[in-house]
Amino acid sequence: MSRRPRGREVEIFNFSFLDILACTIGLLIFIMVMVFILQSSGPVADSGSLIERKLSDAAKAQKAAAHDSQITDALEAALDRVQVHGEPDLTPQRDAARSARDAARARFDQVTRELTAAQSSLDEARLSRDRSVTQSLDRAKADLASAQAARQRAESELADAHQAGNTNAVILSPYRRPGQPDEAFQILHVDCQADNVILLKVNNGKVVEVGRTALANIENPQSDFLRIILEHRLLDHALVLFWIRPDGYETYAAAVKNLPESTQYGFEPADADWSFQAAR
């Protein structure tokens, strides 16, 4: 009797898939390493974003590699169960493919650790730089405060020097009523210049300008001149004292002409370079 030929099982999987998978993973790792090396010489400001991108890409590749490893393990388990009569033993090739895969996986893990270490170093460098910038800013603030204090002292010394060297200063001292030394006039000083009048009062030991009016506007009821004089008249023992500069006689005449009725006033001549100061 003739023997009926036994059907031979045809296996669609073979060990070339493992070789391709291992080479693909190794190629991906090689490309990532080369890109990282080529870009590592860029500016320090871009290193952080570069490392972050590489870590993100490494995480994605690691996830894909884990998925591929699961598929490979399943395929290897299936291939271990396949026994084909008459075919050569491919166990050495399978073991070599596994070794290549394991080496590629180890290299991938090493690159991931190096990227993580580089990220940690970069974070530490950023922290150190921030501390350095903060310290520099604090020093700059302290220097600015010191400079401002020195400037204030210099301005004070300059004012004192100007005060000491001002030989044309006129002291505005309180004026007592004749026969009544305990009653002082409330004086509004009016500095009559060529084109305007400047109204001055002594407050807290200082001469303060309370208003000014141009000669052309001196008749206006809303001007500082008439408004302040009307307010000043309400005080006890109010007096308006005009100081007439050499070029201010026309201004003085116009001011007196527009004074409200029954306003007590007086006048004094003043040189062009006089400055008014309060008695101390």
190-225 residue pLDDT tens? 999 999 999 999 888 888 899 999 999 999 989 999
Per-residue model confidence (pLDDT) at position 38: 64
The residues near 98 (Cβ < 8 Å, ≥ 6 apart) are 18, 76
Residue 29 to residue 106: CA distance in whole angstroms: 11
Mean pLDDT of the chain: 76
Burial class (CB in 10 A: 0-12, 13-18, 19+), 20: exposed
Domain count, the chain: 2
41 is a domain residue: yes
Per-residue model confidence (pLDDT) at position 10: 45
More confident residue, 196 or 180: 196
206 is a domain residue: yes
More confident residue, 11 or 66: 66
161 is a domain residue: no
160 is a domain residue: no
What are phi and psi for residue 187, nearest 5 degrees?
-100, 130
Average pLDDT score over residue span 93-102: 70
More confident residue, 129 or 274: 274
Per-residue model confidence (pLDDT) at position 12: 47
156 is a domain residue: no
Per-residue model confidence (pLDDT) at position 45: 45
- Of 2-16, 142-156, 245-259, the range with the lowest mean pLDDT is 2-16
Q: Are residues 188 and 254 in the same domain?
A: yes
Domain with 216 in it: what CATH number? Answer: 3.30.420
What range defines the domain where residue 202 resides? Answer: 170-278
Burial class (CB in 10 A: 0-12, 13-18, 19+), 255: buried
Per-residue model confidence (pLDDT) at position 22: 73
0.75 exceeded by the pTM? no
Per-residue model confidence (pLDDT) at position 279: 72
67 is a domain residue: yes
Residue 63 to residue 60: CA distance in whole angstroms: 5
Q: Are residues 194 and 108 in the same domain?
A: no
What are phi and psi for residue 202, nearest 5 degrees?
-100, 115
87 pLDDT more than 70:
no
